[in-house]
């Protein structure tokens, strides 16, 4: 796990949201952040690509977006104090308990930058998204 100690991670606007830049691709998005945040984003990207090697990458809603069979699978983004992934699948009770400290809403997980990033949980989260997509026949 990687712990980042940075007073201001990411580029923020007046209300603490990401500045509305236009990114051509995920590399442009990642390079717009401080080095420590870039490291985390690259690792999240690598994990997702390992779980879904056939996936495509794009930018949607100005966030890195991983698509599978032409449909959005998972978004990830860096914010001032955390990394977020969207959407978050529902899992079994053990998965839900492990995810609970990071669940910000029904469909969002937030991983604080000042704490170790649970890359193994992110890997299982993405694998569950893929399984649910396959099981639904989409």
Q: What is the pLDDT of residues 73-101, one digit of tens each?
A: 999 999 999 999 999 998 899 999 999 99
**pLDDT band (50, 70, 90) for residue 50:** very high
pLDDT reported for residue 67: 96
Domain ranges across the chain: 26-121
> Is residue 115's pLDDT more than 90?
yes
Mean pLDDT, residues 115-136 taken together: 94
More confident residue, 114 or 4: 114
User: Thinking of the domain 26-121, which architecture would CATH place it in?
Assistant: Alpha-Beta Complex (3.90)
The overall pTM is greater than 0.85: no
Distance from C-alpha of 1 to C-alpha of 94, rounded to nearest angstrom: 21
The region, left, alpha or beta by phi > 0 then psi within -120 to 50, assigned to residue 22 is beta
- Please, are residues 123 and 1 in contact by the beta-carbon 8 Å criterion? no
Crossing angle of helices 119-135 and 35-51, in 10° steps, is 40
């Amino acid at each position: 796990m990687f712990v980042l100690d940075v007073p201001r991670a990411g580029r923020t606007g007046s209300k603490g949201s990401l500045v509305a830049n236009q990114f051509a691709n995920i590399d442009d998005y990642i390079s717009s952040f401080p080095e420590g945040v870039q490291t985390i984003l690259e690792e999240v990207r690598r994990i997702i690509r390992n779980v879904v090697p056939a996936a495509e990458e794009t930018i949607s809603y100005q966030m890195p977006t991983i698509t599978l069979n032409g449909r959005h699978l998972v978004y990830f983004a860096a914010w001032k104090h955390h990394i977020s992934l969207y959407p978050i699948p529902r899992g079994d009770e053990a998965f839900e308990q492990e995810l609970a400290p990071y669940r910000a809403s029904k469909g969002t997980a937030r991983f604080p930058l000042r704490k170790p990033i649970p890359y193994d949980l992110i890997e299982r989260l993405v694998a569950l998204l893929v399984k649910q997509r396959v099981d639904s026949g989409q």
